[in-house]
Chains A and B, each alone.
Chain A
Amino acid sequence: MKEYLLIVEDLSIQLQNDHEEQQLLDHVSFVVPTGEIVAIIGESGSGKSITAKAMLNLLPKGMAISSGKIEFNHKNVLTMNKKQRQFYRGTQVGFVFQDTSATFDALRTIGQHFLELFSTHTELSKKEVKERAIRLLEDMQLQNAENVYESYPFELSGGMRQRVQLALALALNPLLLIADEPTTALDSRIQAEVLHLIKDWSTRTGGSVLFITHDLGVVAEMADYVVVLKNGTVVETAPVVPLFDQPVHEHTKQLLHYHRELTNIREQLNQAVGGPLVTVENVGKAYFKKKWFRKQSIQAVRDVSFHIQKGEIVGLIGESGSGKSTLSRLLLQLEPYEQGKITWHGDPPFRKGVQWVHQDPLASFDPRWNVEKIVGEGLDYWKEKSDNKHKKVKEVLQKVGLHEKICSVYPYELSGGMKQRVAIARALLLEPELLILDEPFASLDMSSQARMLSLLQEINKKGKTAILFISHDIRAAMALCHRILVMDDGRIVEEANANELSSSINFYTNCLLSSMLTLHPSDRIHEKNKLGGKEYAIQKN
């Protein structure tokens, strides 16, 4: 019989405030067996983050557990006294969250974080703490662990911070690791590495993992068991392979369908080639930083040349810092460039012909304006009659799948997917020939991503609008684009059709390709040897 480390039974959580009472979790039950990785998957709003917080007894104010039991290692978590709870949270359970900037104290070095942790729960000396911490950081494959130990959080990149967070979570050899979307904000290569580290840890020490995610790719890569959550209820629980092969519940089937759509590689090439639209020739851009008497230059884009055809979807793939966002700003003429030439072959004036959807749509809306004003803004600058304006705004909202009712709504009240649609509507209103989308999938869950994907394809087909899709997600680009440009360190290192990219011989492209998550759990390359791992752990003890 299997040992269960964590047993959750009939857990219900209610949100209570002055105005409303809302059931967030409704009789949720699941188990985490010792040494296994259990993934909770659900859309945003399904209650998966609340579940993670409840495991730690860290529910925000106003939320209360109304029924149920959480049992960890045969002890009831909910009835623990203060001291037991501190022991439980600190040493028996480790946790990592998505937002690394919020989990660190910005005024303390990484070392001080370790010191605080060890001094609360152990009696190690300062020197021993440093040794242990550096060993842990090295385990997380951080180069220059000593430097990292002395650094402040802001000096580290997002991927490094996530690894440090993981090192902190695993520092006291917990039995259970709770990870709430730990890789969602990371580039795909770093995501693969972090997932690997978590999996490695589980294999090595026999620790269990409760993994919370919205991405079935992560589930396929990581999980042994899957709990599917929808609107606060568990709709399906199954081992990972049967879940992918024979899903039972409609919601699971739907999620799998989205997953397939998003990972499908586009075979069909651009048929409606109508001549060149934009030609970029040898463009370079450097930023200057003044440092006392000398100027330091950072070359963001180096000698880049490519072209976009009319009606084509082009993907621009690269990791953060590769210069893809800078390149998009040059294309939009938001910044001047020093070298090279960008030529526009389209009909209308350039300003109107190239439109932009920013990766953070909320930041790109004037906070005092409602949806109608935001979407219609472009018309004011291009001499349109005002009675026509309302009609046009309604039309374009319909085109992106939004109801005209939201005209008077302020954007902060909308969901992530709707905000993205409003931003696309604003861009489409001017009937551009080129639409530049900067990481349009970044903040969306899978169903919104899938819907966005088909919306973009439709826009491309109907309006013959060319799209430049900027992303770090090579798989999404392969699903959407006709042609893909791979960018690294300011250069375009590869250009290929979407269906040819997988047979690329470029080293960097192959790095990106190999970091893609597996499609199906049975394809895992790094299948862990459970028995071996457990034996190792026993020997170690």
Chain B
Amino acid sequence: MSEKRKWLVNGLLCYLLFLLLATILAPVLTSYDPLSIGLAKTLQPPSAAHLFGTDELGRDVLTRLLYGGRISLTVGAAAMIIAIVIGAGFGVISGFLGGVADRIMMRILDALLSIPSILLMIGIQVFIPSSLLSVVVIIGMTSWMPIARLIRTEIMSLKGETFIQASVVVGASSTQLLTRHLLPQCLPTIIVMSISGVSHAILSEATLSFLGIGIPPHEPSWGNMLMGAQSYLLSGAWWIALFPGLLITCTVLAVTFLGDVLQDRFALPQIKKGGRK
């Protein structure tokens, strides 16, 4: 890895670590309560007392950002895990079995993919009262399909490789093939997919909350705060929208870059060493 690249990676990692720590240590970092309403000091611009200003109900924006970060990051990580587990499982089974089973599973996948995910999310929300858990489950359940398809294709092409047949000849069983050759080969794809899954989930949560069907409005999340900010933007209260928006952008960017870097890390040994293939 080149020097420049190293700096970039370290910077990204520092940013994400700092964000994580800040959200965990939120009660220590600020003395305000994210939920307490102070009608006396609504829409105050950034000042020494309120570094990022206050919102329409007089709540401290910085405090809400920190507490909101907990929710946004939790949703990101948890929804990604759900999506990866379902997606990778589905893809591996479908690709490994092949034949009729694969065809049926892929048609199911096509059917699910043909429904716009935002519609699916809204549809499910009608039946389940919105809460943190429901948002996580909904995002997870609606974003595993592309992962499944990718993993299935990868398993399919690996299955035909000569070294898989060579392992069969020295006596590997199906499970051994899967755990020793196929899954490790897919690991880079899975890792990269899961990283980009995190940023996707953070964005989805923001979208849902912005539409008012995500996290309950009184609880702070980055998407929620954006929604609350939209009606005050025109009246000049830019700080309510800017800071959550910036945080979402920066975090998603950082996670995506990290995914790229990790992809190189998990490349084949000959590519890593810069040798020929």
Contacts and interface: CB of A to CB of B under 8 A. Distances in A.
Nearest to A370: B269
A155 interface: no
A364 B270 CA distance: 16
Interface string B224-256: 000000000000000000000000000000000
Nearest to B188: A368
A365 B163 contact: yes
A377 B172 CA distance: 9
A378 B275 contact: no
Contact of B269 (A351, A352, A358, A368): A368
Interface string A339-371: 000000000000110111010100111111000
Interface string A202-242: 00000000000000000000000000000000000000000
A413 B272 CA distance: 13
A430 interface: yes
A363 B167 contact: no
B163 A364 contact: yes
B268 interface: yes
B276 interface: yes
Contacts of A412: 269-270, 275-277
Contacts of B276: 412
Which of A356, A363, A368, A378 has most chain B Cβ within 10 Å?
Answer: A368
B36 interface: no
Interface residues of B, number: 23
Interface string A2-37: 000000000000000000000000000000000000
A381 B169 CA distance: 11
B245 to A, nearest CB: 42
A59 interface: no
Contacts of A356: 166, 169
B159 interface: no
Contacts of A332: 169
Interface in B150-186: 161-163, 165-173, 176, 180-181, 184-185
Contact of B165 (A334, A368, A377): A334
Contact of B166 (A364, A381, A382): A364
B163 A363 contact: yes
A352 B275 CA distance: 34
B269 A430 contact: no
Nearest to B161: A363
Contacts of A368: 184-185, 268-269
Which of B163, B165, B168, B176 has most chain A Cβ within 10 Å?
Answer: B163
A382 B276 CA distance: 34
A290 to B, nearest CB: 14
Given A358-B162, A358-B166, A364-B162, A381 B173 contact: yes
A367 B269 CA distance: 8
A426 B170 CA distance: 8
B171 A378 contact: yes
Nearest to B187: A368
Contacts of A377: 167, 170, 172
B37 to A, nearest CB: 57
Interface in A97-122: none
Nearest to A412: B270
Contacts of A365: 163, 166
Contact of A355 (B169, B270, B277): B169
A352 B184 CA distance: 25
Contact of B162 (A351, A354, A360, A381): A360
Interface in A301-358: 332, 334, 351-352, 354-356, 358
Nearest to A329: B165
A430 B171 contact: yes
B169 A334 contact: yes
A410 interface: yes
Contacts of B277: 412
A381 B162 CA distance: 18
B171 A382 contact: yes
Contacts of B163: 363-367
A76 B167 CA distance: 55
Interface string A370-382: 0000000110111
A41 to B, nearest CB: 26
Nearest to B170: A378
B171 A352 contact: yes
Contacts of B185: 366, 368
Contacts of B170: 355, 377-378, 381, 426-427, 430
A366 B277 CA distance: 13
B162 A413 contact: no
B236 to A, nearest CB: 57
Given A378-B171, A410-B269, 14 more contacts: A334-B168, A334-B169, A354-B169, A355-B169, A358-B166, A360-B162, A363-B162, A363-B163, A364-B162, A368-B269, A377-B167, A377-B170, A381-B170, A426-B170
Interface of B: 161-163, 165-173, 176, 180-181, 184-185, 268-270, 275-277
27 contacts: A354-B169, A355-B169, A356-B166, A356-B169, A358-B162, A360-B162, A364-B163, A364-B165, A365-B163, A366-B167, A366-B181, A367-B270, A368-B185, A377-B170, A377-B172, A378-B171, A380-B176, A381-B171, A381-B172, A381-B173, A412-B270, A412-B275, A412-B276, A413-B270, A413-B275, A426-B170, A430-B171
Interface of A: 332, 334, 351-352, 354-356, 358, 360, 363-368, 377-378, 380-382, 410, 412-413, 426-427, 430
The 6 A-B pairs with the shortest beta carbon distances in the complex, nearest first, are: A378-B170, A381-B171, A364-B166, A363-B162, A364-B162, A356-B169
